Amino acid sequence: HSRIPCAAKLVVAVAVFLLTFYVISQVFEIKMDASLGNLFATKPPRYKCGISKACPEKHFAFKMASGAANVVGPKICLEDNVLMSGVKNNVGRGINVALANGKTGEVLDTKYFDMWGGDVAPFIEFLKAIQDGTIVLMGTYDDGATKLNDEARRLIAELGSTSITNLGFRDNWVFCGGKGIKTKSPFEQHIKNNKDTNKYEGWPEVVEMEGCIPQKQD
């Protein structure tokens, strides 16, 4: 007779254990769901290059910033690839340029041209050699204007720039255009070097820009 109560106790014990486990697991899952909910509620989605909203189909996301004084280099990002930055150690004083394929977004070249102590001739040759359909991204660092001449400014204007004609000593400027563009580019930011409004001693504040470049169609 003693076996039946033991078996019954065992069944009750197992049932209680399973019930307890079930309740704990349910509470835990609810807590998990709540914490995941909080996690997603407080963390907005991340878009390519960290831009503020997703680009439509057949567009390339980009974000760029000019240099900060003569201390922090410019940064150029396209389709979540940082093409140029101080961390990559491929930026320098003057005008920093990244070229990308207008159909694929693939990087073609990155270079910088010293417009303070350098020569404008290699920059002009570089600009002339850019192929039709190429995306061109440019950002200044320290000084991007002193050695610029009319020919260099005209070639950059042909890429869609409006501000290049009056880019001056230590102005901050970022620009995204293209070879063969038929209109002026909407992607350009320019801050004049002005001792009354400069953020840094001798330089204006950093200019930043983001957007979506239409993919070149055949």
CA 204 → CA 101, 106, 193, 196, 199, distances in Å? 32, 32, 5, 10, 5
Lowest mean pLDDT among 30-39, 96-105, 162-171: 30-39
Instruction: Name residue 130's amino acid.
Output: I
Contacts of 205 (CB under 8 A, 6+ apart): 172, 191, 198, 199
CA 136 → CA 74, 83, 139, distances in Å? 15, 12, 10
pTM: predicted TM-score of the whole model, two decimal places: 0.76
187, with CB counted inside 10 A (0-12, 13-18, 19+), is buried
The residue among 165, 176, 161, 173 whose CA lies nearest residue 210 is 176
| pLDDT tens digits, one per residue of 130-140 | 999 999 999 99
Average of per-residue pLDDT across 162-191: 90
- 86 pLDDT band (50/70/90 cuts)? confident
- In the chain, what are the domain boundaries? 1-42, 48-214
Name which residue leads in pLDDT, 9 or 56.
56
Q: How far apart are CA 94 and CA 102, in angstroms?
A: 25
The residue among 177, 164, 208 whose CA lies nearest residue 68 is 208
Average of per-residue pLDDT across 66-75: 77
Please determine, for residue 6, whether its predicted confidence score (pLDDT) is greater than 80: no
Name which residue leads in pLDDT, 26 or 60.
60
| pLDDT tens digits, one per residue of 93-131 | 999 999 999 999 999 999 999 999 999 999 999 999 999
The residue among 78, 46, 77, 44 whose CA lies nearest residue 59 is 78
| pLDDT tens digits, one per residue of 194-206 | 666 656 666 556 7
Average of per-residue pLDDT across 177-205: 76
Average of per-residue pLDDT across 70-98: 90
Q: How far apart are CA 145 and CA 58, in angstroms?
A: 34
Please determine, for residue 56, whether its predicted confidence score (pLDDT) is greater than 70: yes
Q: So what's the pLDDT on residue 22?
A: 76
- 8 pLDDT band (50/70/90 cuts)? confident
Name which residue leads in pLDDT, 2 or 56.
56
